[in-house]
Amino acid sequence: MIDTKAIEENIRGILVALGDDPEREGLKDTPRRVARMYQEVFEGMNYTNHEIAEMFNTTFEEGIDDDGADMVGRVVVMRDIDIFSYCEHHLALMYDMKVNVAYIPKGKVIGLSKIARVCDMVARRLQLQEKIGKDIADVISEITGSEDVAVTIEGCHSCVNARGIKKNNTKTFTAELRGEFKRDPNLQVYVR
């Protein structure tokens, strides 16, 4: 679990290291506020991918065609799911992130709101954008039982935009393609 007292102490130390006075009016409550914020924005660090899958495992029977065969050729897609995260290299905000998730059902579908909740919880960790896509795909695959999963993410990184190279409008795109999404380029249009 997240140790908010340790975060408070360390934020106080950072303020001193920056040459500021943590007792001045504007900073008195900053260590406590930052600790509470970190508890919220890093909530996903409290859970494994398996625990997130259990948390949001609300599925429904997909249904059967009139001829008794399982539905074939169906794709479930959620686009433009807003998330944010923090880069593990600089503790910098990754923002304006849009996630697209697609999967081919295998006898059941996940509740749509659960897809967005999975994306949100997975993003609430220190990590790389590539890892967010992999973890979302792992969780969606575990919940749905489908190996045919695709996750794409496009977002801005403040470690690129606000420091270092300072390229303001740069976006990073990552793709995690599995099963039929990896083999069939025609399916990839769903997550572009």
List the beta strands (DSSP E) in the chain: 59-61, 76-87, 93-103, 108-110, 126-127, 149-157, 172-177
Question: Which of 50, 51, 54, 89 does the annotation list as catalytic?
Answer: 89
Question: Which of 39, 90, 142, 188 does the annotation list as catalytic?
Answer: 90
For the question of residue 156 being annotated catalytic, the response is: no
Q: What is the CA radius of gyration of the chain?
A: 20
Tokens of 93: 């905000």
For the question of residue 50 being annotated catalytic, the response is: no
For the question of residue 87 being annotated catalytic, the response is: yes
Question: Which of 39, 43, 62, 159 does the annotation list as catalytic?
Answer: 159
List the beta strands (DSSP E) in 27-92: 59-61, 76-87
For the question of residue 119 being annotated catalytic, the response is: no
Cβ 129 vs Cβ 172: under 8 Å: yes
Question: Which of 8, 156, 157, 176 does the annotation list as catalytic?
Answer: 157
User: 149-157 and 93-103: which strand pairing?
Assistant: antiparallel
For the question of residue 89 being annotated catalytic, the response is: yes
Q: Rounded distance, CA 171 to CA 136, Å?
A: 20
Question: Which of 39, 87, 142, 147 does the annotation list as catalytic?
Answer: 87
Distance of CA 177 to the CA centre of its chain: 16
Question: Which of 129, 156, 176, 180 does the annotation list as catalytic?
Answer: 129
Task: Identify the helix (H) or strand (E) that includes residue 41.
Answer: helix 30-41
Question: Which of 9, 51, 54, 88 does the annotation list as catalytic?
Answer: 88
Count of helices and strands (H, E) across the chain:
7, 7
Residues with a catalytic annotation lie at: 87-90, 129, 157, 159
